[in-house]
Amino acid sequence: MIFLSTFCFRRFGLLVATLLLAGCMAGSNFEKPASPEGASYSKQPLHDPEAPAETSAGGTQHLVSGKEIHFDWWKSLGSPQLNRLINKSIEANPNIDAAKAALRQAQELTLAQKGFFYPSVSGGYTLTRQQVAGNVANSSAPGVQANGRVILPLQSTTPPFNSSLTWTMQTAQLSVGYTPDVFGLNRRTVESLDAQAQMQRFQLEAAYITLASSVVAGAVGEASLRGQISAAKKVIEENTKMVELLRQEVGNGYASRIDLAAQESQLAQVTATLPPLLKQLAQQRNLLTALAGRLPGQEPEETFEIALLHLPCSLPLSLPSKIIEQRPDVRAAEENMHSANAQVGVAIANRLPQFTINGSMSGTATVFSQLLSTGAPGWSFAPSVAQPLFAGFTLLHRQRAAGEALKQAEAQYRSTVITAFQNVADTLHALEQDGDALKAALAAEHAAKVTLDLTTHQYQVGYANYLALLSAEQTYQQAAINLVQAQANRLGDTGALFLALGGGWWNR
């Protein structure tokens, strides 16, 4: 092993320490954005969403300010099937794997850049076999020079003139190079890469909560479609019975052919609503299958009904000042701004002098054991500095471009914050209206059912005409479907609130 002399190391260390102590960071340090002042979700006071507790999606939901949000918030919907499907999706969804790989890549790039803080050391060894013609005047075998005397390899004597000479030349070298980070070029680069790694981390957290909320929305959508299909089938069944009854009455002369045609038309219209619902259900199942990381032919066994999903009676309501800390998209936008700020420092540092220090220790001899002998070793120590003088204004424009990129990142951050508050406000208003909509839908369904039952009885005893019965059937059909949709909307918006508040990723 060949080492630089103690004297060289001392000079090298002294120069490095001097440059580091004199070093500074180009560009300004990043300052974390402050929370928006006076931020709120609504001008008007927020009220707890209320609805009759006659259905699984009914009851009053209490908004609890500052309540902690758990990462597995979907368990509050009380569905073991939903819990299993989300766990399967988190384990198998390729988007999660891609986000994990992106995070690891960003972390490795940061670690790779940190390597430039240390000296680079390389070693080399060269073996040369050469023959020289002996008829060249003063030809001799190059050996090791020691006190003006040439030591020939293998202690051989000087060969006769005109005879050729063959020898082996061996060279070993150890080189050390270092680039002091005088103006913070590498530190700003590491800072930028580390911010990008943090951004990937928050994007991974966003992928987790987005996947969970997508599965919840898909499950609620499936439950809604199953409820609508069930309501449509019941209406079809009732209309089919009515058609059969009218056919018997037409045959007995108690009803006209016009009444039968109208009922058959009503049956056909109701039946036509079923295929689109079945198509949507199949597509919804395909969506849930894809979220679980499976192919269409491998759909999960979990199925969902409105009655099996329960509305949580207590909902968290984070303080507005906490939103920018809880939302992973806001945190990712902040780290993107941090990275852009560091890139401005990188662009500035590229226009400043660049210092480098190189040193090497080598040995040359015809015999390997003589590489460290007197006269064989050699060393070099070469500090240097380079200052860009003119590059067609390239570095200037790159610095300006970095400044504009920072402005873009700042604008994107502000837009993300505004969108975050908008999401929470939209969801809170939706939940308040969902309660009123469910209350109205439930009342309408009860009234339509009573009207249909009374009209059917009156028609059977001859006190109501057929048009009244047909109108009552249509009204009840739509009321039943509206009730299912109102329940699904309330469940879906409840899940959307957890997503809007950040999804509890910090508790994962």
Q: Where are the alpha helices (DSSP H) in 117-256?
A: 185-252
Long-range contacts (CB closer than 8 Å, 24 or more residues apart) made by 476-479: 476/235, 476/445, 476/448, 476/449, 476/451, 476/452, 477/231, 477/232, 477/235, 477/270, 478/448, 479/441, 479/444, 479/445, 479/447, 479/448, 479/449
* Residues 56 and 224 sit within 8 Å (Cβ to Cβ): no
271 within a domain of the structure (yes/no): yes
Answer with the residue of higher pLDDT: 466 or 243: 243
Per-residue exposure over 470-501, b if at least 16 CB sit within 10 Å of its own CB, e if not? bebbbbbbebbbbbbbbbbbbbbbbbbbbbbb
Domain annotation covers residue 315: yes
Closest CA to 428 of 499, 505, 325: 499
In this predicted structure, the answer to whether residue 261 has a pLDDT above a threshold of 90 is no
Residue 456 inside a domain? The answer is yes
Helix (H) or strand (E) holding 65: strand 62-65
Task: Identify the sign of the CA torsion 302, 304, 307, 309.
Answer: positive
Rounded-to-integer distance, Cα 408 and Cα 112, Å:
28
Ordered strands of the 354-365 beta sheet: 120-132, 165-178, 354-365, 377-386
Residue 308 confidence (pLDDT) above 80: yes
Q: What is the mean pLDDT of the chain?
A: 86
The answer as to whether 55 is a domain residue is yes
CA 117 – CA 144 distance, rounded (Å): 39
Q: Give pLDDT, residue 10.
A: 53
252: tokens are 């007995």
Q: Residue 7: inside a domain, yes or no? A: no
Measured distance CA(256)–CA(74) in Å, rounded: 56
Q: How many percent of the chain have pLDDT more than 90?
A: 56
Residue 160 lies in a domain: no
pLDDT tens column, 426-451: 999 999 999 999 999 999 999 999 99
Write out the residue range of the structural domain in which residue 255 sits: 46-119+181-352+413-507
pLDDT of 26 above 90: no
Condensed to tens digits (0 to 9), the pLDDT of residues 37-92 reads 878 888 888 788 888 777 778 888 899 988 899 999 999 999 999 999 999 999 99
CATH number at residue 58: 1.20.1600.10
Give the burial class of 163: count Cβ atoms within 10 A of its Cβ; 0-12 exposed, 13-18 middle, 19 or more buried.
exposed
Write out pLDDT tens, residues 349-363. 999 999 999 999 888
DSSP per position, 175-214:
EEEE---TTSHHHHHHHHHHHHHHHHHHHHHHHHHHHHHH
- Asked whether residue 148 is domain-assigned, the answer is no
pLDDT digits (tens, 9 = 90+) for 316-327: 999 888 999 999
List, in order, residues 6 or more apart from 239 with CB less than 8 Å away.
263, 266, 267, 270, 473
Q: How far apart are CA 500 and CA 497, in angstroms?
A: 5
Q: Give the Cα-Cα-Cα angle 292, 297, 302 (nearest 5 degrees).
A: 50
CA 429 to CA 420: how far, in whole Å?
14
pTM metric for this prediction? 0.83
pLDDT confidence bin for 134, thresholds 50/70/90: low
pLDDT of residue 493: 94
Tens digit of each residue's pLDDT (9 = 90 or more) over 326-355: 999 999 999 999 999 999 999 999 999 999
Backbone angles phi, psi at 80, to 5 degrees: -60, -35
In a domain, 10, yes or no: no
Taking residue 3's Cβ as centre, other Cβ atoms within 10 Å add up to 10
Q: For the chain, what is the domain count?
A: 1
